[in-house]
Structure 1
Amino acid sequence: MLAIEQEILNFINNTYQLMGWPGVVVLMAAESACIPVPSEIIMPFAGWMLIKERALAVTFTIAAGAYGALGNTIGSAIAYGVGMWGGRPFLEKYGKYVLISRHDLELADRWFIRSGSWAIFA
């Protein structure tokens, strides 16, 4: 398991080094678009970038949060668009690339049927 965690950390670190702050936007967008990139690691790394750059003023901290929020919004819009225009056929065809199987879709269907409209809030 440690090797996987190290690979994720290396990937995030390399993205930050290549792209800088736009890398935060890209990674957070990927996370919100249901691609398994953990935001629990992305944003602390953004904080570490602030420390490395000695940019500890409140404005830089707010900017880091804004980059994360922008990425989250973009990723959520992508996920919404996939659901709105592609729907289930799109997920059945391409979901395997983001670790969504047909079995996962069937489990979600049963959960929504059982829970009704409350499932949307969960």
Structure 2
Amino acid sequence: MFEGLVVSLEQIMALYGAWGILIGSILEEIVAPIPSTLVVMGSSFLIMKGSAISLGSFGTLFLNVVIPAAVGVTLGSLFLYSITYYAGKPVIERWGKYFGVSWSNVEGLEKRFEESRSDELILFLLRALPVVPSVIINAFCGVIRYEIKRYLSITFFGTIVRTLILGFIGWQFGNLYQDAAQQISYLEEGVLVVIVIGFILFIIYKLRNKN
């Protein structure tokens, strides 16, 4: 399955260039089986193949890979953000009482993030780190109804840092970029599993205390 995705995405990127990268980046945010590292690393390998490290090469990487990918990820992230934005409140109002969470708690968290620059910086850093699953950030910001303009700004500029790192790795790793993309995706999945397990343990803890 992974090989099939690689071939399909490489064909799209080779045929449409920057537009293909933008489309692929949107899809990787929406379609779960697509590794979030694949589009950037694959496109940087195809576009930068054989290029020596120089200021001009970094300019080419930035304009033809990083910017289209950042725009695509930002647009694609709105899919889950929108779902959790509108579904979060009714779900928490219906089920939150079983876990000791109320909508007023969420509103308090939202207010804290809107007023705190340090929390905003944390969101930016989490978005910029390649091993942090973007799905967690998208869902979290949607649930707390994080202000849309700030969300888009943090997502875009944080993703620029993330894609620049991944793009450089894809460029320098050459034909090994698929293995590198898989390894980084495994790390993302590991982080996601840890977060999910932590959430489940938190729920169990709350239920036991309640009983």
TM over 0.5: yes
Q: Kindly tell me: are residues 51 and 86 of structure 1, through their superposed partners in 2, closer, same or farther at Cα, counting changes over 3 Å?
A: same
Q: Which runs of 5+ in 2 are unaligned?
A: 89-195, 205-211
What amino acid is the match of 1:43? Answer: V
- Work out whether residues 26 and 73 of structure 2, in 8 Å CA contact, stay in contact via their aligned partners in 1: yes
**Separation of aligned partners in 2, 1:58 and 1:45:** 16
Q: Is residue 2:164 matched to residue 1:111?
A: no
**Separation of aligned partners in 2, 1:86 and 1:22:** 32
Partner residue, 2:80:
79
**Separation of aligned partners in 2, 1:114 and 1:81:** 25
Partner residue, 1:15:
12
Q: Is residue 2:37 matched to residue 1:40?
A: yes
What amino acid is the match of 2:200? Answer: W
The alpha-carbon deviation at position 11 of structure 1 amounts to 0.9
**Separation of aligned partners in 2, 1:8 and 1:112:** 34
**Separation of aligned partners in 2, 1:67 and 1:21:** 6
- Work out whether residues 28 and 34 of structure 2, in 8 Å CA contact, stay in contact via their aligned partners in 1: yes
Q: Kindly tell me: are residues 40 and 11 of structure 1, through their superposed partners in 2, closer, same or farther at Cα, counting changes over 3 Å?
A: same
Q: 1:69 is paired with a residue of what secondary structure?
A: helix
Partner residue, 1:95:
none
If asked which structure has higher relative contact order (CA below 8 Å, sep 6+), I would say 2
TM-score (norm. length: structure 2): 0.37
Give the fraction of aligned pairs with identical amino acids, expressed as a percent. 17
Partner residue, 1:61:
61
What amino acid is the match of 2:8? Answer: F
> What CA RMSD, in Å, does the superposition of the two structures yield over aligned residues?
3.5
Q: 2:37 is paired with a residue of what secondary structure?
A: helix
Decide which of 47, 69, 72 is 1:50's aligned counterpart.
47
Q: Kindly tell me: are residues 19 and 82 of structure 1, through their superposed partners in 2, closer, same or farther at Cα, counting changes over 3 Å?
A: farther
